[in-house]
């Protein structure tokens, strides 16, 4: 795919018109201080609105309701960001992580059961991280033992975003404690209504509670919900993690580079402490120029990833490069926004639900930006992947426990 060869003028005009007619004009006001029920109802409503326009799952295969070329996906995300459309926060894991896992490793029955349900609003959570086994995913301790027609699961998951609202969970559990760490893990689809399952929200520094703990006490998962062979869940998990580090970045990069940077420039047009405007300060101008250049680099990285992904030539570390660059650029951008907007930014502690990490509530966005250097593998993990798989460097020495 070459994004420069397809005539996208008509498609861009179509998306722009759709956005003008369908993006809720007052969603930011309505979602500020929204309760859980309002947030969930709005997210479900917005997802169905996108679905009605054919824009909810553009990255899925055509037979499942997608089939949009990567070039058109770029245009779609550019226009959604330009029109300040809400983010599909609640459906993010469902349409990306769950779908990519089912398509890559699920059975025909699993795909037929869950992909249409996701289109109807089924919500998923990712149950990978655990206490003392976050970035060291292979060190997870949650166990699943075979009993009859199912597996009995015991353990605890942590940092499970949106678990309080989820219908299903992508779960990793150890099924062979005697095997080397990566070879004794299996991958399951777990019904969040299962007996023995307890979800407890975790309040973060920004005052939000989308992170959750999941406690598993004798939870029974039917054997038909196993994804891939027993003890080969590590390989299946790579499809999930590739989605998190890869194509999802396309939307996030456009939101940072479009609406996020636009609001930052607008904030810099505000008054400076000593008179005049912030943007008249050459140091502010230089920093804005640096960030705009870095954002252009991020977009170029994303386009390259999209093209190689569609051509089947993506390298083993390409997604990690994009994820690492986006997450650290997001931090740098929000750090500058907090610095340049000063004390007033510290008094704006309300952020609309359904917004991204560049909502314009700069202090909360700054706090939230630190999340992105952790999930899906920390920046340190990404650098290790880039070094070992991308550059062919020797493997990192194993430190004895």
Spot the catalytic one: 130, 244, 254, 358: 244
Q: Which two tokens stand for residue 92?
A: 């993010």
Q: Quick one: which of 154, 152, 149, 100 has its CA closest to 124?
A: 100
- Say how far apart CA 91 and CA 376 lie, in whole Å: 17
- Say how far apart CA 304 and CA 306 lie, in whole Å: 5
Strand partners, 191: 168
The dihedral formed by the CA atoms of 271, 272, 276 and 282, expressed in degrees to the nearest 10: -120
Q: Quick one: which of 5, 61, 70 has its CA closest to 311?
A: 70
- Say how far apart CA 352 and CA 136 lie, in whole Å: 33
Q: Is 358 a residue of the active site? A: no
Q: Residues 259-272, buried b or exposed e (16+ Cβ, 10 A)?
A: bbbebbeebbeeee
- Say how far apart CA 324 and CA 344 lie, in whole Å: 30
- Say how far apart CA 227 and CA 171 lie, in whole Å: 10
Q: Which two tokens stand for residue 199?
A: 């979800």
Q: Is the CB of residue 153 less than 8 Å from the CB of residue 175?
A: no
Q: Count Cβ atoms below 10 Å from residue 205 Cβ, excluding itself.
A: 10
- Say how far apart CA 256 and CA 203 lie, in whole Å: 25
Helix ranges (H only) for 282-374 are 282-311, 318-347, 362-369
What 3-state class would DSSP assign to 64? helix
- Say how far apart CA 122 and CA 73 lie, in whole Å: 23
- Say how far apart CA 359 and CA 353 lie, in whole Å: 9
Output DSSP code: residue 84: T
Catalytic residues: 244
């Amino acid at each position: 795919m070459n994004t420069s060869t397809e005539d996208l003028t008509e498609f861009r005009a179509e998306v722009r018109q759709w956005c003008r007619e369908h993006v809720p004009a007052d969603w930011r006001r309505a979602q500020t201080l929204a309760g859980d029920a309002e947030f969930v109802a709005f997210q479900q409503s917005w997802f169905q609105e996108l679905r009605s326009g054919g824009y909810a799952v553009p990255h899925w295969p055509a037979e499942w309701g997608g089939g949009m070329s990567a070039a058109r996906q770029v245009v779609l995300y550019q226009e959604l960001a330009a029109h300040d459309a809400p983010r599909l926060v609640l459906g993010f894991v469902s349409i990306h992580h769950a779908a990519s896992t089912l398509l890559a490793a699920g059975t025909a029955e699993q795909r037929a059961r869950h992909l249409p349900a996701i289109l109807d609003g089924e919500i998923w959570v990712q149950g990978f991280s655990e206490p003392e086994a976050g970035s060291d995913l292979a060190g997870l301790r949650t166990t699943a033992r075979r009993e009859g027609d199912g597996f009995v699961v015991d353990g605890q998951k942590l940092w499970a975003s949106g678990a309080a609202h989820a219908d299903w969970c992508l779960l990793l559990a150890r099924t062979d404690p005697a095997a080397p760490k990566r070879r004794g893990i299996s991958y399951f689809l777990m019904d969040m209504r299962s007996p023995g399952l307890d979800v407890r929200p975790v309040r973060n520094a920004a005052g939000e509670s989308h992170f959750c703990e999941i406690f598993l006490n004798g939870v029974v998962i039917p054997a038909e919900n196993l994804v891939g062979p027993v003890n080969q869940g590590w390989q299946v998990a790579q499809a999930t993690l590739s989605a998190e580090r890869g194509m999802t970045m396309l939307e996030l990069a456009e939101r940072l580079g479009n609406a996020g940077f636009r609001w930052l420039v607008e904030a810099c047009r505000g008054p400076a402490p000593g008179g005049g405007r912030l943007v008249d300060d050459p140091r502010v101008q230089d920093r804005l120029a640096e960030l705009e250049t870095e954002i252009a680099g991020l977009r170029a990285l994303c386009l390259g990833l999209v093209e190689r992904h569609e051509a089947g030539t993506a390298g083993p570390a390409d997604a990690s490069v994009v994820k690492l660059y986006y997450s650290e650029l997001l931090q740098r951008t929000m750090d500058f926004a907090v610095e340049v907007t000063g004390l007033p930014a510290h008094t704006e502690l309300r952020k609309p639900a359904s917004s991204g990490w560049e909502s314009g509530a700069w202090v909360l966005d700054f706090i939230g930006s630190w999340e992105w250097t952790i999930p899906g593998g920390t920046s340190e993990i990404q650098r290790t992947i880039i070094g070992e798989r991308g550059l062919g460097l020797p493997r990192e020495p194993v430190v004895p426990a």
